Amino acid sequence: MIEDLFANDESLPRQWQENLAPGAVILRGYATEYVPALFDMIMALSKAAPFRHLRTPSGHTMSVGMTNCGDLGWISDELGYRYTPTDPETGQLWPPMPALLRQLAEDASSAAGYSGFNPDACLINRYYPGSRLTLHQDKNERDMSQPIVSVSLGLPAMFLFGGLTREQTCKRFPLTQGDVMVWGGPSRLNYHGVMPLKDAIPPSPAQESVRYNLTFRRVSAI
């Protein structure tokens, strides 16, 4: 099982870097110390902008629940994929990005070799067992010079990371709570996704059987 890959192995440091591809790394355990605060923030943000299951332009309902915080939020409907400054369900601005989230994203980006990251959008995904994210590219952003930063919380998941075409073979990387992925440069437009989430015992007894993912992006050109 995914959660067994790193469990009970005292020889592994709490934090270390794993290379995925040129310009792409996993910072293992980088966000571990912030987990309780991150969960609290997700709960607060989702009260202001509730999770919802978006529909793709082709009419498919996504299995992953989603909400946003920051200056812009990512949405999908029959009109296409895009970013908006307001939540279409409430007509209100998306909740501001908490300072801790912004700082975590900036620090992780710098640790991965991308200094000066300035995210203006944070997508919050919620996966229940069985949820998945199909292979896709993050290409709705205007500024492709800055990386993607992704923080994993809750249940472990298997991440797929491919190449610049959908046909290229994907590598599988297990992600556990506190792991942070950063990719940019030559890997900025690589296809990626998440395999169907398996049910498992949560990392903490206080947590439910769910996975959350925080994805930070720079959308607007500077």
Binding residues for Fe cation: 136, 138, 192
Alpha-carbon distance 188 to 89, whole Å?
Answer: 30
Asked if residue 209 lies in contact with residue 3, where contact means CB atoms within 8 angstroms, the answer is no
Asked if residue 31 lies in contact with residue 46, where contact means CB atoms within 8 angstroms, the answer is no
Alpha-carbon distance 195 to 7, whole Å?
Answer: 20
Q: Which residues are annotated as a binding site?
A: 136, 138, 192
**Angle at 68 (CA atoms; ends 54, 125), nearest 5 degrees:** 60
**Angle at 84 (CA atoms; ends 65, 112), nearest 5 degrees:** 70
Helix (H) or strand (E) holding 75: strand 73-77
- Give whole-number Cα distances, 171 to 39, 75, 105, 107, 150, in Å: 29, 27, 24, 26, 17
Alpha-carbon distance 42 to 18, whole Å?
Answer: 27
Using the CB atoms, write b or e for 7-20: b if 16+ within 10 Å: eeeeeeeebeeeeb
